[in-house]
Copies of this chain bind each other. A is one copy, B any other.
Amino acid sequence: MPGKVKVGIIGSQFEAQIHAESFRILPDEAEVVAVASPTPGNAQKFAKQYNIPRAFTDYKQMLAERDIEMVTIAAPNSLHAQMTIDIANAGKHVVCEKPLCMTLEEADEMIDTCEKKGVLLMYAEELFFTPKYVKAKQMADEGAFGKVYLVKQCEKHFGPHTGWFWDIAKSGGGVFMDMGCHGIAFCYWFLDRPKIKSVYCQMATHVHTDKTKGEDNTICILEFENGAVGLIEDSWARRGGMEDRIEIYGEGGVTYADLHMGNALPTYSEYGYGYAVEKAPTTKGWTYPVFDELYNYGFPQEMHHFARCVRGKETPIATGRDGRVVQQVLYAGYHSAATGKKIELPFTPKNVKTPIELWLKKENKK
């Protein structure tokens, strides 16, 4: 089909809003024509806000719309697999948010189904598109740092707004599941996807014990086959707003890229103002408002790229296979945290329902 790629969104909360906004910011390749969200009223409200013509309560009805070519999933982690399979069976391309799913079995089924049905399974890892991080990779690829031996990435804030994240049955895990997947994918991609040899994690619930069984602060060390190391930190226990940054170390140099304090307008206001940044507690006093937040995270560029892939103009930069690699590292990380040992890959335990159970089943602990 010529013309703009027609897109349907499943979801109506924070992540879905990012999707809709992204298609609006770079509108030349795609248009959102439908949204589906199960809670009565949510889809209509969302459709109205974003000028989307069709709203559904049942996403399967949306999948029946013949003209829709690509569907984005912005729903709880526990629903990613089924939705992906349904979308693929409807002959539409899939954009699945991170983390890919709950289990390796689900990942395999998602990948296989999409392959069989001849549709793309694209993995919405926006860090592959974050302009500042792309610049870092570009410099690395140009030889600026010589052989890169250490990649660090962190993402920290004081916890998600949306309720299901705190319910490990729906999310599959705490902050490592929610945000560690970014760092894992990022290090893997930055180094040009060398095999991951081992995973070590330290995690705990330091602050939000009243809200969740999930871990709220994690440290993860990856060892790669080429000798490089990844160091990933994630937190739902960091006050003061968002933090997302990387550090790259090579034999020949270093670079630092900070998406928040490193981009912000340090600002003091007695009175407050409209909006500073995701997760900012206030706009009074000193704050670090950012500009063009979504663009500087890479969301519009990501969606723009996915639409171009549907048209065959580009090949997906982030795929379900990347998501499956991440999934295995999530398993290994939770297990490592329980046992106090680094876990060598491959690590493919069967019958895991949620990654976090590998941590909570502490009888594995040595």
**Do B254 and A267 touch across chains, with their CB atoms under 8 A apart?**
yes
Chain B residues, Cβ within 8 Å of A241: 268
**Do B252 and A139 touch across chains, with their CB atoms under 8 A apart?**
no
- The interface bits of chain A over 231-247 (1 if a CB of B lies within 8 angstroms of the residue's CB, else 0) are 10101011111000000
**Do B265 and A255 touch across chains, with their CB atoms under 8 A apart?**
yes
**Do B274 and A139 touch across chains, with their CB atoms under 8 A apart?**
yes
Q: Is A160 an interface residue (CB 8 A)?
A: no
Residue from A26, A269, A281, A284 with most neighbouring chain B CB atoms (10 Å): A269
Of the listed stretches A12-20, A78-86, A256-264, name the one at the interface; the rest are far from the partner chain.
Answer: A256-264
- Closest residue of B by beta carbon distance from A287: B286
Bound complex: CA A198 to CA B200 (Å): 14
- Closest residue of B by beta carbon distance from A261: B266
Bound complex: CA A132 to CA B138 (Å): 23
Bound complex: CA A145 to CA B238 (Å): 10
**Do A267 and B340 touch across chains, with their CB atoms under 8 A apart?**
no
Bound complex: CA A285 to CA B266 (Å): 13
Chain B residues, Cβ within 8 Å of A274: 138-139, 142
Known contacts A28-B27, A291-B135; A237 and B143 CB within 8 A of each other: no
Q: Is A361 an interface residue (CB 8 A)?
A: no
Of the listed stretches A89-97, A221-229, A311-319, name the one at the interface; the rest are far from the partner chain.
Answer: A221-229
Chain B residues, Cβ within 8 Å of A60: none
**Do B143 and A273 touch across chains, with their CB atoms under 8 A apart?**
yes
Chain B residues, Cβ within 8 Å of A131: 291-292, 295
Taking Cβ atoms with an 8 Å cutoff, the residues of A that contact B are: 26-28, 131-132, 134-136, 138-139, 142-147, 149-150, 198, 200, 202, 204, 206-207, 217, 219, 221, 223, 227, 229, 231, 233, 235, 237-241, 249, 251-257, 261-274, 281-292, 295, 340-342, 366
Question: 8 other contacts beyond A238-B249, A285-B285, with CB at 8 A cut-off?
Answer: A27-B28, A28-B28, A142-B273, A149-B237, A219-B221, A239-B268, A263-B263, A286-B287
